Amino acid sequence: MKAIELYKFITEHNIEYHWHEDDVLMFVDCYNIKEFNDLLPGTIFDDSGIDCKMKDGYFCFKMEQICSYCDIEMFDVFPKEDN
């Protein structure tokens, strides 16, 4: 997965995300999970897979691990929120 592919997925599907300390929490609706899964390189699941929380209607991913694996700079995809 490339940064532009992740950014396009986020913007096209209006994916919610929030910075939490030094990581980004990204919330993917259940009906978008297959498309998100297809973006991920298959080898990311080889060892222990990726952590996520399944909630009512969406999955929550900590993006630092995913972005690091894909050599994506998180600031390129997830601008810091102004508080």
Walking along the chain (83 residues) 10 residues at a time, the average pLDDT comes out as 95 94 94 94 78 93 92 91 58
As beta bridge partners, residue 23 has 20
How far is 68 from 75, CA to CA, in rounded Å? 12
How far is 49 from 42, CA to CA, in rounded Å? 10
What residue spans define the domains of the chain?
3-77
pLDDT score at 81? 65
pLDDT score at 71? 94
- Structure pTM? 0.86
